[in-house]
Amino acid sequence: MTRSYLIHLAVAGLLGMCAHAQTHPLESLIETARTGPSAPGFKDLVGKILTAKGGTAVWGQDFLFVAAAEDAVSISIDGQPPVSMARIPDSNLWMRLEKMRTGVTHSYQYFAAGKALSTRADLTGYNPDSYPRSGVAKGRLSEKHTITSKIFDGMKADWWVYASPGVDAGTPAPLMVWQDGQTLISGDLSRLRLFTVTENLVAQKLIPPMVHVMIAPGFSPEGKAMRSIEYDTVTDRYARFLMDEVLPEVEKLYKLRQDGYSRAIGGESSGGICSFNVAWFVPDKFARVHSTIGSYTSIQWRPQEKLEGGNVYPFKVRKEEKRNIRVWMSDGADDLENAHGSWPLQNIQLANSLKMREYDYHFRFGQATHNSSQAALDLPESLAWLWRGYDAAKTSEAFVMDPAEKEKPYYRVTISNRDAW
């Protein structure tokens, strides 16, 4: 973890995780699970808070796993031998409650009838700033809005606005745009817990009060999913969509700062490369990038149409004009490997390119697969790092590499799952 956030994390740990006066739904679910699978109302709570097919829940050191199958289910956690799960009466659901470490990600996989019931997945052991605290003011989430884009030929896309505590509708506010925004709007029931993290960090003055804009991928008039075209293509088209179409609508609700110094953009997977893409093309409008499990691969590489894909970014960074941007990146050793490319290798390659050009960047490389677990674990730290030193009186800053990063070597790859010969 970065040094400044470690200090604040220690203070937060001393304060403890204090829920609001009303018990949080996840805490209620965990409390009920403690009495066992036959607890009154437990099955209904699972369906209401998770899904009819189960899911996972984390509250403090309590990790709840619920899987659906007709046969008996077992679970392997962190690569250990599978252990049995207990059936929830009058259902095909199986549960297990475990006490585990926080501050790390955990892997898990379900098995039934002697076969894998699921692929390996990961779960977050959240840090204290990802939990609601008593006395911390809450922000405001708007209703859903829908925009019809001219830049994307009639595409319709949904969007929401969250204003943190301290945002005044009449005063221009710092801005952070998030791709795949539909995954964030359920608050603490979403993996990242963005709103709670924001509220806690604003209260500690680790980030400024800000407006988050969450945008869902759009659909063409014919119903075609536009996500990859929007996110993975290396052009300024999505940046123009934001600046010329979405943000003018947002400013009907809240005034926004116009300087790139006061604007960040974030996303996961294709949303991660989309965030880097926007800052690359318009660093004067978006100078802070939050990229996790970024798809810096050839998904939209179309040489016959002279369109570049994200696979070119490690080399563009090394050879093109340096941009004045600050970049937080994370990925995991077990991320995707497919026909489009290698997510871990491309993220490492991009991190080395940013280091070579002395960008202000931070790269977190864990073990997780292609999911949100590492991003969720890091979010209090990553947002504090991304916005560190922000001064509302300024409109620009020359971002420079942290001296501690300068002293570190380039990332090097070792083979851990087979012999090298």
User: What's the confidence (pLDDT) of residue 10?
Assistant: 42
Which segments in the chain show pLDDT lower than 50?
3-4, 6-21
Options 2.60.40.2890, 3.90.700.10, 3.40.50.1820, 1.10.3720.10; which CATH number does 132-406 get?
3.40.50.1820
Q: How far apart are CA 242 and CA 94, in angstroms?
A: 44
In the chain, what are the domain boundaries? Answer: 21-127, 132-406
Q: How far apart are CA 19 and CA 303, in angstroms?
A: 53
User: What's the confidence (pLDDT) of residue 17?
Assistant: 40
User: What's the confidence (pLDDT) of residue 5?
Assistant: 52
User: What's the confidence (pLDDT) of residue 382?
Assistant: 98
Tens digits of residue pLDDT in 151-204: 999 999 999 999 999 999 889 999 999 999 999 999 888 999 999 999 999 999
| Residues 409 and 157: beta-carbon distance below 8 Å | no
Tokens of 373: 């677990």
pTM over 0.85: yes
Tens digits of residue pLDDT in 320-335: 999 999 999 999 999 9
User: What's the confidence (pLDDT) of residue 8?
Assistant: 47
Q: Coil, strand, or helix at residue 2?
A: coil
- The neighbouring-strand residues paired with 167 are none
Tens digits of residue pLDDT in 40-89: 999 999 999 999 999 999 999 999 999 999 999 999 999 999 999 999 99
Q: How far apart are CA 84 and CA 391, in angstroms?
A: 53
Q: Residue written as tokens 């941007």?
A: 325
- To the nearest 10°, report the CA torsion of 202, 205, 206, 212: 30
User: What's the confidence (pLDDT) of residue 187?
Assistant: 86
Beta carbons within 8 Å of 323's beta carbon, 6+ residues apart: 279, 280, 283
* Two domains, one topology: 21-127 and 132-406: no
21-127 belongs to which homologous superfamily? Immunoglobulins (2.60.40.10)
Q: Whose CA is closest to 172, among 242, 87, 258?
A: 258
Q: Coil, strand, or helix at residue 337?
A: strand
